[in-house]
Structure 1
Amino acid sequence: MRRMAHTPVTANRTLACIRKMLNLAEVWGYRPDGSNPCRHVPKYPEKGKTRYITDEELARIYAYLGWADAEGLEHPLLTLAIRLQFEFAARMSEIRLLEWAWVDFENRRVVWPDSKTGDISKPMSQEAYQLLSSAYCIEGSPYVCPSIFDGKIAMPEGTYVNGWTRILTRAKVPHVGTHGIRHRAVTDIANSGVSVKIGMALTAHKTATMFMRYVHAEDDPVRAAAEKVANRRRDTIGSKALANTKAPASPVEPTETRTSLGNYRPFRHRKVQSRAVPPGTKRASSMEQVQNKPEEIAT
């Protein structure tokens, strides 16, 4: 683990894989119970590094995709896969493994029977419907985005990742992983004004916490909100100041004070017996003696 400290995410995934292997070895009887040496190995802290795709970068990406489709610079299956991932706010694996049998054009829905989070169903937008209805198809292939060289298998992950990296380079956009597509799509859903419940249905997140982890705060809306709050505070201060100028304050009448500090008297100088006193103090003991004297005299 120490040798992989510079790559904490990879180190944690490696640790999880080894821990699972040793746990299965215990279940299958190859190791004694509780002998997994990975149980008490701490994980490295992971910091989210998924960069947000800005509006300008998104426009550059789509401009290049349109140019690539028109000039034949990229394979149409690759550009289709990237467009579909944006439209469905999907994971890369969901687009790579998408089959035509899961696409319901009549009801305009796509169903993934075995996704990362189980069985999910998403509606098609008009853009997604047009993409799928006019998609480049390979005869005999069950996949919407099959391998470029072999239509019987799904598009390899390396083909997708390398193609996405190449598109970013040609569009002059700084590098961001393919999961950044999903982050951008989820942020667009959240900023569209829909409820969190509907947003979770569109992204197939099981919890609101996971849904909000994908939402990035855009700079312009945050700046506009800060300006709105500042203006409201300024208006409140101005209205209060105007009200104070219209109604002059009444003069303060001088009052007699018992001490040089005003009417405040420290606790130790208060001599009224009705005041509660801290137990165990000298004054408390003296007051108890005074209260007990009449009883002694009576006896």
Structure 2
Amino acid sequence: MPKLTKRLVDSMPPEPKERIHWDDDLKGFGVRVYPTGRKVYVVQFRANGRTRRKNLGQHEVLTTEEARRDAKLVQADVARGADPSADRKARLRSPTVAELGERFLTDYAALHCKPQTQYDYRHLVEKVINPILGQIKVTEINFEDVTHFHLKRKDTPYQANRGLSVLSKMMNLAEDWGLRDKGTNPTKRIKKYHEVEKKRYLSEDEQERLGNSLGDLLQSGHISQHVFAAFYLLLLTGCRLGEIQKLKWDYVTQTHLELPDSKTGRRRIPLPREARMLLDNLERREGNPHVILGVHPDGYHQSLQKNWRKIRKHAGLPDVRIHDLRHTYASVAVMNGIDPFMLKEILGHKNLSTTLRYAHLSDDAVQKAAGRIAGKLFKTLERI
């Protein structure tokens, strides 16, 4: 067969069986003619000891010279050790980002993460990552795709940043699982958005309003004794919501709450006298091990967030979150001279920097401290 040209390929008639016509000028380059008359350019090469073929494109969609140029590029890649046919098969077998996310949740998060973390990861995968990136192949996702994803979420910077972090974990695991080449994580070098830290705690006046609201709502029957106790315990112990909401009587001693597992592992939380009195007055339910009971005979109270919205509205505290009660505990502790290292142990933090982020001092306390410093300096200056 002489050198393939457009005229020559146009003149090739279909035969009962498909046939490849090879080019004499470029070894391995040819055109496959099907019985239907369809003609497709191919390139043949040897990779990993096997002869392989790769389709380059259909005649007339691709010119003969364009196909010849592409054939040379494939052969050059093969000479450098690549296997274009295997690469294409790998791309076809590659899972989508959504499929990788599901494997991440079942094969990684379910084995190594606490239930709340698993819940958070699933929300980020299904509600934040998948709507934008879910249908892209894991082998195909690139820096531009991730940049687009992060930009689309710019109006919710916290979600954008958490989604980026989870996506980065997924891509690292994709490399470990052989689904991507090593060192190709496309989330690298993407700058996270600035997040404004929420510094909210209750002033003494707000604490009093909250206490009055809890008492009023309990007396009027709008909240139960267990809901009342839950929010008092959060304030009196500095615990996280889940630690009180899921608390069991087996964990309660005369002086401590002995939690076998928490966000930071096993915890031993001091139980103040006032908190102990609250617990002593709580109704128990036979066969139910939980302290904070709900309407169902089994399990714990499931709707504390709903109750909190009712409580904070009654107290005139619309911007206060449940977690801000923990902030309040830390702030009161610091303002009353509790050593940060001791507070770190009480709150169950792994490092001191986390404790110091929680321990926000009130403006009044800062103003008074600044006034004392300035007054002392002024008196010294007057004597000079």
TM-score by length of 2: 0.58
Q: Distance in 2 between matches of 1:32 and 1:141?
A: 51
One of 178, 202, 205 as aligned partner of 2:349:
205
Please tell me whether residue 221 in structure 1 is matched to residue 368 in structure 2: no
Please tell me whether residue 6 in structure 1 is matched to residue 152 in structure 2: no
Please tell me whether residue 166 in structure 1 is matched to residue 272 in structure 2: no
Please tell me whether residue 150 in structure 1 is matched to residue 299 in structure 2: no
Counterpart mapping for 1:21-170 below 5 A = 21-105=170-254, 108-146=255-293, 148-156=294-302, 159-170=303-314
**Letter aligned with residue 150 of structure 1:** H
Residues 228 and 50 (structure 1), Cα distance of their counterparts in 2 relative to 1, 3 Å cut: closer
Contact kept in structure 2, 1:165 and 1:175, CA below 8 Å: no
| Aligned-pair Cα RMSD in Å | 1.8
**Letter aligned with residue 279 of structure 2:** L
Q: Distance in 2 between matches of 1:91 and 1:205?
A: 11
- Residue 151 of structure 1: how far off its partner (Å): 4.0
Residues 167 and 225 (structure 1), Cα distance of their counterparts in 2 relative to 1, 3 Å cut: same
- Residue 78 of structure 1: how far off its partner (Å): 1.7
Contact kept in structure 2, 1:141 and 1:151, CA below 8 Å: yes
- Residue 174 of structure 1: how far off its partner (Å): 3.2
Q: Deviations over 1:243-263 (max 9, x none)?
A: xxxxxxxxxxxxxxxxxxxxx
Structure showing greater Rg:
1
Please tell me whether residue 230 in structure 1 is matched to residue 374 in structure 2: yes
TM-score by length of 1: 0.73
Alignment length, in residue pairs? 235
Tell me the secondary structure at the aligned position of residue 110 of structure 1. strand
Q: Distance in 1 between matches of 2:333 and 2:192?
A: 33
Tell me the secondary structure at the aligned position of residue 115 of structure 1. coil
Q: Distance in 2 between matches of 1:7 and 1:212?
A: 26
Q: Deviations over 1:59-114 (max 9, x none)?
A: 10001111222221212222211111111101111112211111112xx1111111
Gap regions ≥5 residues in structure 2: 1-149
Q: Distance in 1 between matches of 2:291 and 2:183?
A: 46
Gap regions ≥5 residues in structure 1: 241-299
- Residue 133 of structure 1: how far off its partner (Å): 1.3
Q: Distance in 2 between matches of 1:76 and 1:25?
A: 49
Please tell me whether residue 180 in structure 1 is matched to residue 337 in structure 2: no
Q: Which residue of 2 is the match for residue 282 of structure 1?
A: none
**Letter aligned with residue 61 of structure 1:** L
**Letter aligned with residue 168 of structure 1:** R
**Letter aligned with residue 200 of structure 1:** K
Q: Distance in 2 between matches of 1:78 and 1:29?
A: 50
